[in-house]
Amino acid sequence: MGSVGDLQNYIVSILSSMIRINSENPPGREDEIASYVAERLAELGLKAWIDRFQGRANALGSIKVGEGKKIMLISHLDTVPAGEKELWSIPPFSGTVKDGRVYGRGAADAKGCIASMLGCLKSLADEGWPINGEIIFAAVADEESENRGVRRLISQGIKANCAVVGEPTNLNVCIAHKGSIFLRASFIGKAAHSCQPERGVNAVYAASEYALRIEKLSKRFRIEHKLLGKPSLAVTILRGGVKDNVIPDYCELIINRRTLPNEDLES
């Protein structure tokens, strides 16, 4: 069995390496990082493979010792975009270790989770796998968009008796989760030159008024969940306009509704 320091170095090294592999979503480029994770799983003695589908990739592994129950360790390979890289104080794909922290896009969400889970597997491997059952490891694609990776697992019938889901919770154990619904609202106006706005119908104005109505509506929720609090409703994207001197004839809003377990779609 290695020391705690050795295990920490292992986890930090893996996390830094994964951060240096860009897996921003969009566009979703999980193949390289899936290969990296699968290699680490194989090194630890798991049966490891990469499932490629629809231009995406899941990294999977399993080890069975005894006839006990199955547990799944699952997290995701993709990250949200890094945004304007020059605004980062530390380059987002550097995996820099500084003052006891690892910095970069995905360090928390959720490459740190994958590295920690690999560290857990290494501890078990070093002890000769003192388990009775099967461990399934899944590092999936597209969590930040349409959950294609998890949908793929479901379609393949990959199941477990329980699962540990790697997400940045500040080490709090979370046993419930809000659902998510995305809506698109489109607004059609009439184009005109910006020097004569009265000749057109500004679609951005119409969308903005609707966005403010959504804000008011979001404050009216009365239902509440004992763990998750209230549901939420928010405008997250407003897109409109084609040129700085043209009254926009089209605008769209993306609206995100977060639901509670005790809600249904009709309500």
User: What is the widest separation between alpha-carbon atoms in the chain?
Assistant: 77
How far apart are alpha carbons 23 and 57 in whole angstroms? 11
Strand partners, 48: 61
Residue 111 neighbours by CB distance under 10 Å: 31
**Could you tell me if 143 and 149 are in contact, meaning their C-beta atoms sit under 8 angstroms apart?**
yes
Both tokens of 232, joined, read 């939420």
Cα-flanking dihedrals φ and ψ of residue 93, to 5°?
-115, 30
Catalytic residue IDs:
78, 143
Task: Give residue for tokens 């290969």.
Answer: 35
Both tokens of 243, joined, read 């040129």
Exposure on the CB side of residue 122, measured as CA atoms within 13 A: 19
Non-local (6+) Cβ contacts of 233 within 8 A are 214, 217, 218, 221, 255, 256, 257, 258
CA dihedral sign of residues 62, 65, 71, 73: negative
Q: Which of 255, 259, 91 is closest to 183 using CA atoms? A: 255
Which 8-state DSSP code applies to residue 55?
T
Both tokens of 241, joined, read 């306009």
* Residues listed for the chain: 267
